Chains A and B, each alone.
Chain A
């Protein structure tokens, strides 16, 4: 059930009425929210529900065992935590990485003339398995660290992991942000209607218009066979993909945040004009912010962060980014993407601590260069990220390096789509909030009029069918 579909529109219309009608009966409302979330997940494949239940059970039981309640003795806390994380990662590894590692082992074995009796497991990758794992691990680790009390309610834990707005592609919501919101009935007036309506409408526009057309009209054909495409088109397709993936992924999380808010639940921000970043470090403070902070809090800092000297900092940055790359999928292209960002962060870290940066780093030319270099680096990363295989990425780079003499076939519509992507980065970050307040102040008819006109424009411009969100596969 994709967000920009009639299926989800009907589901949301039903859920909105049901959830608010039960608002004063909080326990019943939570059961209903859980049932809705399970139905949402089961719309892909009901067998995936077993995964949700397993993940919820692990989190609940481990959470109870590793909690730091005052006066309570909890022997083996660390071992139980390690077991919980291992189980969560084991599920992820089985579904997502086992075939990849079997393939690598077989390749290596064949190179040495061996033929081990290894067979591929060939299981269907469950939707959202990575996001499930992130939520589950963050809960048990936060409980272990004493940042939050272990929940006594299996319902709350299962609802935290499976809540349908964030279930499939985030944003990654921390348990300490979400669980307290389940404790009492919600107040509709705590969430601006127009602001969240704009978030959803903006998300629909980014996905249905910008991302869909860029993908279908230009990016997908170029990446299908880069050897037949002109050098100009190859370069432009990388920039187009940068806009496409931003429009696609930020659209999903914008809609998720807006839908959750209309139901009365607050999610964290996930994007902040990432292509305005001045440096790779800044990019990761603006791109998929909830993943960046997750990797920082549950991987980089536990590894030692920057507390043990320059060499260990380099190691920790590289490990974090390589694993972050691998999280996206079992493919060498993601590994290279993560490694590239790891190296960039290491260089960025050294630059930020240099005397040169202290003296010239805040000057306009240095900041302009910072922005330009960061954008190019991010786009080179996207080339690997988008390529279906390392071979295609190599062909792509070779095509940029050596002109094949082909004429450009880039459709003219790409220019306004790129301009729309750029526009999302040059408008003031608080413009949605301001427009929302302006609409709220004008009353119900303005809200309805604006919302209806915006929906009309989006449907007029939308293609007949929407491609799945890019991050569904992760």
Chain B
């Protein structure tokens, strides 16, 4: 693979894995901005990713770790 393609592949792969591990943030972000329906397609795609992440348990692990960490650090008020 050429150096530029390798670089872009690595960056987008990291971003994609992050979104898959924590799909809730991007889904909410899209939902908040979809007042007129212009983000219906990406929102539907993100909901599918969210469902896939939840189905194999990745989403739940991330959420549980976040809750545990914030509880340990004393930042679980919200």
Binding site for B on A (CB under 8 A): 6-7, 9, 13, 16-17, 20, 23, 188-189, 193, 197, 213, 216-217, 262, 411, 413, 444, 447-448, 451-452, 455-456, 459-461, 463-464
Contact = CB atoms under 8 A, between A and B. Distances in A.
B78 A464 contact: yes
B66 A13 contact: no
Interface of B: 1, 3-4, 6-15, 17-18, 21-22, 25-26, 29, 62, 65-66, 69-70, 73-75, 78
Nearest to B42: A10
A188 B10 contact: no
Contact of B18 (A197, A455, A464): A455
Contacts of A444: 1, 6, 9-10
Nearest to A213: B73
Given A16-B8, A444-B9, A213 B21 contact: no
B62 A217 contact: no
A7 B14 CA distance: 17
Nearest to A450: B14
30 contacts: A6-B26, A6-B29, A9-B15, A13-B15, A23-B4, A188-B4, A189-B3, A193-B6, A193-B7, A197-B10, A197-B14, A217-B75, A262-B11, A413-B73, A444-B6, A444-B9, A444-B10, A448-B10, A448-B13, A448-B14, A448-B17, A452-B18, A452-B21, A456-B21, A459-B18, A459-B62, A459-B66, A460-B65, A460-B66, A464-B78
A451 B15 CA distance: 9
A258 to B, nearest CB: 11
Contacts of A463: 70, 75
Contacts of B26: 6
Contact of A17 (B6, B8, B69, B78): B8
The 4 A-B pairs at the shortest CB distance, nearest first, are namely A451-B14, A452-B17, A188-B4, A189-B3
Given A459-B22, A460-B62, 12 more contacts: A6-B29, A16-B11, A189-B3, A213-B73, A444-B1, A451-B11, A459-B21, A460-B65, A460-B69, A461-B69, A463-B75, A464-B78
Contacts of B25: 6
Contacts of B15: 9, 13
Given A459-B18, A463-B70, A213 B10 contact: no
A452 to B, nearest CB: 4
Contacts, number: 72
Given A455-B18, A460-B65, A13 B73 contact: no
B62 A188 contact: no
B73 A456 contact: no
B25 to A, nearest CB: 6
A413 to B, nearest CB: 5
Given A6-B26, A459-B66, A13 B12 contact: yes
Contacts of B69: 460-461
For A197, A213, A413, A455, which residue has the most chain B Cβ atoms within 10 angstroms? A455
A217 B70 CA distance: 12
A86 to B, nearest CB: 43
A402 B8 CA distance: 58
Contacts of B8: 16-17, 20
Contact of B74 (A6, A16, A217, A464): A217
Given A448-B13, A456-B21, A188 B73 contact: no
Nearest to A462: B66
B63 to A, nearest CB: 10
A16 B13 CA distance: 13
A217 B77 CA distance: 12
A13 B9 CA distance: 11
B15 to A, nearest CB: 6
A70 B41 CA distance: 59
Contacts of B17: 448, 452, 455
Contacts of A193: 6-7, 10-11
A197 B18 CA distance: 14
Contacts of B13: 448, 452
A17 B10 CA distance: 12
A197 B8 CA distance: 12
Contacts of A456: 18, 21, 62
Contacts of A455: 14, 17-18
A447 B17 CA distance: 13
A461 B69 CA distance: 6
A9 B10 CA distance: 15
Contacts of B4: 20, 23, 188-189
A460 B6 CA distance: 27
Contacts of B7: 188, 193, 262
Contacts of A451: 10-11, 14
A436 to B, nearest CB: 13
Contacts of A459: 18, 21-22, 62, 66
A181 B3 CA distance: 20
B44 to A, nearest CB: 17
A89 B73 CA distance: 45
